Chains A and B, each alone.
Chain A
Amino acid sequence: MTTTAPEQQSEETGRTAADDPVGQDVLPAPKGASRALLRSLLAPARGAVRLTVLVLLLQQAAVQAGPLLVAYAIDRGVPAVRHGDHGPLVAVGVGYALCALASGLLQLAFIRLSARIGQDMLLDLRGRIFRHAQSLSVDFHERYTSGRLISRATTDVESIRELLNDGLQELIAVALSVVYVSVTLLYLDWGIGGAAVLSIAPLYLFVRSYQRRAMVVYGERSTAMAAVIVKFTETMNGIRPVQAFRRERANEAHFAGLNSRHRRSNAAAMLEMARYIFWSRLVANTALAAIVLWGAYRVASDELALGALAASVLYLRRLYDPIDRLGMFLNSYQSAAASLEKIAGLLAQRPSVPEPAHPRPLPERPAGSPGREVVFDGVRFAYRTGGEVLPRFDLTLAAGRTVAVVGSTGAGKSTLAKLLARFYDPTEGEVRLDGVPLRDLAVPELRRGVVMVTQESFLFSGTVADNIAIGRPGATREEMERAAKAIGAHDFITALPEGYDTDVRKRGGRISAGQRQLVAFARALLADPAVLILDEATSSLDVPGERAVQAAMRTVLRGRTAVVIAHRLSTVEIADRVLVMSDGRVVEDGTPEELIAGTGRFADLHRAWRDSLV
């Protein structure tokens, strides 16, 4: 038997980011998905949005009224005062004070309202991403990679937050102020107003062309930044091998290259912005000068009142003021649009392991025989990207028995386990638990039925007790301790600085790989499932640890159906039945004694193992 052949069919190999549609940043999504997402996020806030726009309309009216009042004061107030009539002056004073108060208070109301809308949308979006990621199958998670998923839920949401927080209200304010100023200018004087409105056209074209060029430079900058982040994270997460293999200098050289690429694109983005500011300012200032000149000429020829010209000048400056901010808004809009597209792509993924619409319960088990029968009926499994892992097979695992599955890496053992745990659904056929297809079980029912312990030993932040309690939320401390004692984890846990209440992420909370695995076992014991799957779950345990696990299976878990996948044959000794897998097929099947006595692969493996124990 060679060791290399099966590796090629290994479920983890043979797939690269390039040939897998899921292994990409932007997932395929139906056209217009990001717009539909935005609409559905905004839908509950429709009323609030209307109210906000109304508040802003009033607020801008109050703000824009200032120069109008100035014009009124000069044109009407001055002559009136000269004639001893203080009425217009008092009106201006009261009006100005009211406008000042209104603009400030309405601004407060607007900020609060728009923050509420924005935050509600973000809460909704965060919830959707989180829920959706949780509902997607393990298969998806393995292909999309954790890094991508995390950045969808963090940096991409963050860029949308920035747009909602600062950008959007800016844009509405800018748009409204442009409309107001134009209308006021037109009211003051048709000529000046018309000229001002016409001057907006070249500015608009200008903004559009900037938008196109900015997309390129900012895109380049964020690509460069992503490369920096990947290198940075990889180095920090692999700091042990980095230092042990003296990679510091080589890394620095590589990082310097990535860093200078980012530096160049960073400068390019700043220069693009500089050009935008220059041209838009130049156009705005030229328009201002031309309009003022024309206005002055008309005052000189008595076609225009002096006050109207004075007010127009003030308004004109305001008309052109927000151009710079518009540029910044466009930048945040662009990055938010890109993020929204990525998020929409993620949300468009359908879970390949959906929850049943009409769940069925599992039949009651008689007391004393908690295990359940497992049937693989005509099951075949292949990845959607092609590549058959398990050819069609039938298999029945009797209730209450322990079955060991052995075979070399890539033989399909883990896939078998994942089908039984319903991490995947079979491509054909079905898996049944006491006659009920797994597809028809609601999640809580399924997890009372089947629990899997893997070689991964991830701990969640929180205390050791919190981590064990994942097996059965609401379990008492006594129940947890009983589970930990049964698995031989109690001693090391009580030796931690705060025992079960030690925070696994804080000081003194260092827990070795083997100890983590024991915690994972304690969790599984607490869950007390009908079927327990151990997928290489003892690989980091020492011999006493492994023996504690075996003892627990004979006592606490007695009568459960168990599927044990192991490289180590010591685990197999306690099995009632052994399946030997190779290239996705069960090639040997029998009791340990039968197989050892035979001449098959298992007998060979067993002999090799016996020798190794010498």
Chain B
Amino acid sequence: MMVDTRGTPRSPARSLLRLWPYVRPVRASLFAAAAVAVVASCIGLVIPLVLKWMVDGPVAGRDPSGVWLGGALLLVLGAAEATLFLMRRRLIAHPLARVEADMRADLYGRLQRLPVAFHDRWPSGQLLSRGTSDLMLLRIFLAFPMTFLLVNGVTIVVGFVILLMQQWVLGLVLLAPVVPLVVLCSLFEERYSRAARTSQDQVGDLTTAVEESVLGIRIIKGFGRHHRQERSFMGLAGRLRSTELRKAGLLGSLWALIMILPELAIGAALLLGVVQVADGVLSAGTLVAFLSTALALRWPVESMGFLLAVTNESATAADRFFEVLDSPVPADGPVPDRTGDRPAAADTSMPDRDGLRLEGVEFRYPDAPAGSPPVLRGIDLHIRPGETMALVGTTGSGKTTLTALIPRLHEATAGRITLDGRDIATLPRERLRELVSIAFEDPTLFSATVADNVLMGAADAREADLVRALSVAQADFVHALPEGPGTQVGEQGLSLSGGQRQRLALARAVVGSPRFLILDDPLSALDVHTEALVEAALRDVLATTTALVVAHRPSTVLLADRVALLSGGRITAVGTHHELLRGSEEYASLMSGQDDHAYQGGPRR
């Protein structure tokens, strides 16, 4: 989902002011740097005055010692200017790098804690661009445009004061184009920023097209559709090109205006000045100095348009950043007494061994269209302590959604879920997720070693736990990897097959001997033989654990003591596999192959 910030009224200044908490700690350096920049800029304006003084005084008066003095002064001022430039940049280098890093750390921390529903809505690319290019832009803004808006503003004012003091008539001539320039610039600026927004969106579309063409390459190749993909990609790229050309046209017109108007004013001042010099009203030196000052002011004036554009873009970047930071993190349960930060301390808070209980649980996605029925409604389910419950239902019936409610990856919209009698809404998430361990249908491994990937399932697991978990998951292949459990896997390491990843995800779920275990179709990618071995090993684990197992297959169902059938967003039947086979037509049709005789044998356990 693209987040549309267009049309929402905002003021760039207000957006940028929100950066203050990050800037505050480094404000001293930043203000000092701005002061240095002002001084440096003033020196830049004084240099022409020294030149005038030299031309009018020592040079005209044939005074060699005066010339030397002027030269020395120029040298000192030049060295001072260079030193001030150095100082300014040295003052801000570390502080601004710190501001950028602080903001990025905050963004990352916030994103980790935002609910899964938030991440469902936001493509990771959108989040990444906020964490990278937007923050870089903000750093650049703090380093240059912010300072130079101030510095150039001051320079322009001071410069015009000097000009008016030297020659108020000529000064007024130079001031003449300011009003039309401001009006025309703001006009162009608005159209340009609209075009810039369009181009940003089109770049986003193009990126999506590239991503999909790469991620879906097997489908594209499998159906021989690469020419179609190319055509649609080139269409998008062509549209971006037109937008960019429109932007260039606008930018060119803006530049033309900014160059022509002041230059015409300088030309007029030149003519007037020449006449005045000829009339003896003005000295040649004054005119030279006047024109040097005017030319020195050209860059500050020309840069204002560009600076304002960058400021505008930076305000957008700040908005995008705070959009994420302002997203609410759902309230957490009360933080437990951290003095007794051990499982034993929490055990006392859940005295009755009641198992896992769902009462009247309802769920609808936060972004579901209004009026659509909830995905889950009125779910009542009790899994007794130590019991294994299979969850069965048709494709898309909400089984995975239901499992996500228990560790509060999604928040139930109504009803309550209790673990051993304790409402999970009153447990801190961290504690809850210590109690509940989960193996996802889509097994994600992180860029780390196999051991790290498995051991992240438990805070205080040891080598022995790793070995046991790997053997439960029949993941002995690990020992034959180049560096055994120390082998790097994930995007930056060895890539494993789907079945191998699934077994590691299973090992991760069971490594900490969790009190509550959730397995989402844990054996789907395994071949029959491995599946049988994993099942046998899992039985021991499940014997002592309260577990919910999503199952598509009879073989997985048989791991469970009882089965719950999810249908139409409700639990419609609960019972043993055989009870349901006899009692529920839907269940029988979900579980049975065409040949019903396969189910006539007795239970295996």
Contact = CB atoms under 8 A, between A and B. Distances in A.
Most buried by B among A12, A410, A541: A12
Contacts of A541: 395, 552
Contacts of A423: 218, 221-222
B241 A292 contact: no
B5 interface: no
Interface in B141-170: 143
A116 B395 CA distance: 52
Contacts of B434: 246
Contact of A255 (B105, B245, B603): B105
B112 A237 contact: no
B278 A270 contact: no
A295 B54 CA distance: 11
Interface string A1-37: 1011001101011111100000000000000000000
Contacts of B582: none
B367 A263 contact: no
Please list the 10 inter-chain residue pairs (A to B) with the smallest Cβ-Cβ separation, ordered nearest first. A285-B78, A115-B248, A447-B224, A274-B89, A514-B395, A293-B71, A96-B267, A100-B263, A81-B278, A111-B252
Given A70-B291, A288-B78, A460-B216, A513 B441 contact: yes
Given A292-B54, A410-B497, A244 B438 contact: yes
Contacts of A234: 446-447, 490-491
21 contacts: A1-B529, A16-B493, A96-B267, A97-B267, A110-B252, A115-B248, A120-B241, A131-B230, A138-B217, A228-B132, A237-B124, A252-B112, A277-B89, A293-B68, A296-B67, A299-B55, A306-B55, A523-B219, A567-B525, A569-B528, A613-B599
A103 B263 contact: yes
A314 B295 contact: yes
Contact of A543 (B230, B447, B553): B553
Contacts of B233: 126-127, 130
B554 interface: yes
Contacts of B530: 3, 408-409
Contacts of A103: 259-260, 263
Given A225-B132, A285-B75, A543-B552, A409 B86 contact: no
B108 A232 contact: yes
Contacts of A610: 598
Interface in B253-287: 253, 255-260, 263-264, 266-268, 270-271, 274-275, 277-278, 284, 287
Contacts of A277: 82, 85-86, 89
A608 B270 contact: no
B221 A614 contact: no
Given A289-B75, A314-B292, 7 more contacts: A119-B241, A293-B74, A313-B51, A407-B527, A514-B396, A608-B528, A613-B554
B257 A104 contact: yes
A594 interface: no
Contacts of A228: 104, 131-132
A360 interface: no
Contacts of B440: 240-241, 244
A541 to B, nearest CB: 7
A135 interface: yes
Contact of A292 (B51, B394, B508): B51
A408 B64 CA distance: 97
Contacts of B188: none
A297 interface: yes
B600 to A, nearest CB: 9
B127 to A, nearest CB: 5
A255 B101 CA distance: 10
A138 to B, nearest CB: 6
B208 interface: yes
A281 interface: yes
A612 B441 contact: no
A421 B271 CA distance: 80
A211 B278 CA distance: 50
Contacts of B213: 130, 133-134
Interface string B197-220: 000000000111011111111111
Interface residues of A, number: 186
B70 A296 contact: yes
Given A134-B220, A278-B86, A456-B218, A78 B108 contact: no
Given A119-B241, A243-B409, A543-B590, A81 B263 contact: no
A4 B476 contact: yes
Interface in A82-122: 82, 89, 92-93, 96-97, 99-101, 103-105, 107-112, 114-116, 119-120, 122
B500 interface: yes
Interface stretch (B91-99, B338-346, B381-389): B91-99
A119 B71 contact: no
Interface string B46-61: 0000010011001110
Nearest to A109: B252
B444 interface: yes
B234 A543 contact: no
Interface in B218-237: 218-230, 233-234, 237
A505 B217 contact: no
B288 interface: yes
Contacts of A310: 51, 55, 284, 288
B353 interface: no
Contact of B529 (A134, A240, A608): A608
Interface core residue of A73, A109, A262, A471 (most chain B CB under 10 Å): A73
B480 A99 contact: no
Interface string B118-147: 011000100110011000000100010000
Interface string A503-537: 00111101111110010100100010000000010
B81 interface: yes
Interface stretch (A42-50, A149-157, A334-342, A377-385): A149-157
Given A134-B213, A513-B441, A544 B590 contact: yes
A612 B225 contact: no
Contacts of B591: 543
Nearest to A310: B288
A563 to B, nearest CB: 13
Given A112-B249, A243-B409, A248 B62 contact: no
Interface string A261-278: 011101100110111011
A179 interface: no
A313 to B, nearest CB: 6
Interface in A227-265: 228-230, 232-248, 250-252, 255-256, 259-260, 262-264
B182 to A, nearest CB: 17
A213 interface: no
A207 interface: no
Contact of B492 (A230, A251, A567): A230
B576 interface: no
A309 B234 contact: no
A335 B54 CA distance: 45
Given A134-B226, A289-B75, A461-B212, A508 B477 contact: no
A252 B222 CA distance: 41
A541 B58 CA distance: 95
B187 interface: no
B89 A271 contact: yes
Contact of A93 (B92, B225, B267, B409): B267
A96 B265 CA distance: 10
Taking each of A70, A114, A505, which has the highest tally of chain B beta carbons within 10 Å of its own beta carbon?
A70
B101 A260 contact: yes
Given A92-B271, A252-B109, A292-B74, A237 B263 contact: no
A543 B590 CA distance: 6
Contacts of A410: 497
A386 interface: no
